Amino acid sequence: MKKAVSVMVLVAVAALTIFCFGSVASAGEEIKMVGVITKIDIAGKDAKTATATLKDNKTEQLVVITVEDDLTLDKFKDHRIVEGDEIRCKYEVIDGKNVSKLFRKTAGC
């Protein structure tokens, strides 16, 4: 009986640890990445949202970022940010979408 309780406690502690420190992104958590833009989708000059697909430098995974801030949208529209640019990005998972909180080119002069 004692052994069973110990096992259950251990399992509970392990589950709690994973829940608290797990690397899986959850809503409200800010995730950082640096990656190169492989694709930008924006619907016209008046678009209020766009998506940019970034190839994560560390994992080489493709991550689709939803961009909603006016400054970055404007940079997509006038092509100050284009495919091939390397981006430093912070995003949050909101309703299943990776919503950009910071989206900047790493390069400068």
Rule CB under 8 A: which residues touch other proteins? 34, 36, 57, 71, 74, 78-80, 82, 86, 104-109
Q: Which residues contact 5 (CB under 8 A, 6 or more apart)?
A: none
| Alpha carbon separation from 61 to 9, 25, 36, 44, 73 (Å, rounded) | 36, 15, 11, 27, 23
CB of 27 to other proteins, least distance (A): 23
- Cβ proximity to other proteins: between 97 and 104 the closer is 104
CB of 46 to other proteins, least distance (A): 13
Residue at token pair 């493709």: 62
CB of 19 to other proteins, least distance (A): 30
φ and ψ at 85, to 5 degrees? -75, 140
CB of 56 to other proteins, least distance (A): 10
- Cβ proximity to other proteins: between 29 and 74 the closer is 74
- Cβ proximity to other proteins: between 39 and 80 the closer is 80
- Cβ proximity to other proteins: between 15 and 102 the closer is 102
d(CA 48, CA 15): 40
Cβ-based neighbour number of residue 87 at 10 Å: 22
